[in-house]
Structure 1
Amino acid sequence: MPDGTIEPKKGRKFDQVLEGARHVFLSDGFEGASVDDIAKAAGVSKATLYSYFPDKRFLFMQVAKTECARQAEHAIETINMDAPVRQVLNAIAIDMVDFITSQFGKRIFRICVGESDRFPELGREFYESGPLLIRGRLVDFFHRAVENNELAITDFELAAEQFHELCKADLFPRMVFNMDDEFTPAEKQRVIDGAVDMFMARYGV
């Protein structure tokens, strides 16, 4: 069975198949999604689908990796890392909170947990395709901020993880335990402000 680290064959309808699969997986989950439904949503034949992705598991892995990378790259490209520290942290926190509480973020997390026995590498692939990219950019930003005497950090990787966890406060546990599924802008802003304030209280100069 193909491993998630193997790169799929690219072709003219590759993105079309991925988009159709994304729609079906997020709607029906991994188990509920059928190859017939995915092919129909993508507007391709099953033969075309299988020419790119030999099985549903491999297709799901590629959908998760592609979507995570796309959202992470969007966040990286749209944030001005040369802005004042608090402004940068606020922008990063907004993207993190929006992703965590998005339909995709919630679906992919639940699928990662629900399918952990079926393909345990999914969690690693998901992390490397999204959160790890953001953490790397955060670490780079922290180094520059320390050089400019704006932050006082010695363990940069830990600080990046701490900021990520601060952005999950309150909302993530409520979502995971099915206490709430939707959050108001005020609820999100409360967590964003708290994350930035707490981080600056610890590491601000």
Structure 2
Amino acid sequence: MNTQRPTIRKGRKFDQVLEGARSVFLVDGFEGASVDQIAKVAGVSKATLYSYFPDKRLLFMEVAASECCRQSRAAVDMINGCGHPREVLEQAARHLLGFLTSTFGLQMFRICVAESERFPDLGRQFYASGPMVMKGELIHYFEGAVARGELAIDDMHLAADQFGELCKADLWPRLVFGVTDSVSQAEINRVVHGAVDVFMARYGA
């Protein structure tokens, strides 16, 4: 079985198709989005759309990778390299939770899982374009905070992964498994504060 991701052809209307698809996916999700609606919003013909993306899943994953890059860039811009750990970690946690609990973020995760056997590189692309970038920025921040005597961390990579998992506590599993359809700001605040408190209890200098 061929597990390699088909090559995506790029042309002058590629970005136009991608932006139209992003708008539709953000509103309708993967299942609810139709190729007809995407083509209409993008202002292209279905033939043009299919010439770039013969499969809706490929289009979704290209949009997902682009969105993930956008989110990670926003997170990078947000992190104050000299800020106090509690301030920086709270900002990072809110940004991460905002994306993970969004309809688009959940759709992206489910598609990565559903297509993991058919297109195993899709999940790797998603990880490299977002989570790995965010992890790298956290590690970079940790190094500076340790040098300033604000944190005491031996294994930076493990600490960054642990913080990401703390941010998923309670809310993300309930959303993924359909126990709840949405989360409130109060619930997000609870998880954010808990994640930062636990992390600082372990690594605060």
TM-score normalised by the chain length of structure 2? 0.88
What residue number does 1:97 align with? 97
Q: How many aligned residue pairs are there?
A: 203
Whole-angstrom CA distance in 1 between matches of 2:118 and 2:135: 27
Q: CA deviation at 1:96?
A: 1.0
- Distance in 2 (alpha carbons) for counterparts of 1:5 and 1:199: 41
What percent of counterpart residues are identical? 58
Matches within 5 A, 1:72-87: 72-87=72-87
Q: Would the alpha carbon gap of residues 61 and 2 (structure 1) be closer, same or farther in structure 2, given more than 3 Å must change?
A: farther
Contact 2:139–2:157 (CA<8 Å) still a contact in 1?
Answer: yes
Q: Which residue of 1 aligns with 2:203?
A: 203
Aligned amino acid, residue 203 of structure 1: Y
Aligned to 2:120: 120
CA offset digits 1:18-77 (Å, max 9, x no partner):
1222244452526x6554332223110133324433543432321111011111111211
Provide the residue aligned with 2:49 in structure 1.
49
1:9 counterpart residue number: 10
Contact 1:112 1:122 in 2 (8 A): yes
CA contact (8 A) 1:25 1:33 kept: yes
Which residues of structure 1 form unaligned runs of 5+? Answer: none
Look up the match of 1:146.
146
Give the gaps of 5 or more residues in structure 2.
Answer: none
Aligned-residue Cα RMSD (Å) equals 2.3
1:109-188 to 2 correspondences below 5 Å? 109-188=109-188
> Residue 200 of structure 1 aligns to which amino acid in structure 2?
M
Alignment check: 8 A CA contact 2:61 2:108 kept: no
Between 1:160-169 and 1:70-79, the stretch displaced more is 70-79
**C-alpha displacement of 1:84:** 1.1
- Could you tell me how far apart the structure 2 residues matched to 1:185 and 1:163 are? 20
Distance 2:97 2:29 in 1: 24
Distance 2:35 2:174 in 1: 33
Q: TM-score, normalised by structure 1?
A: 0.88
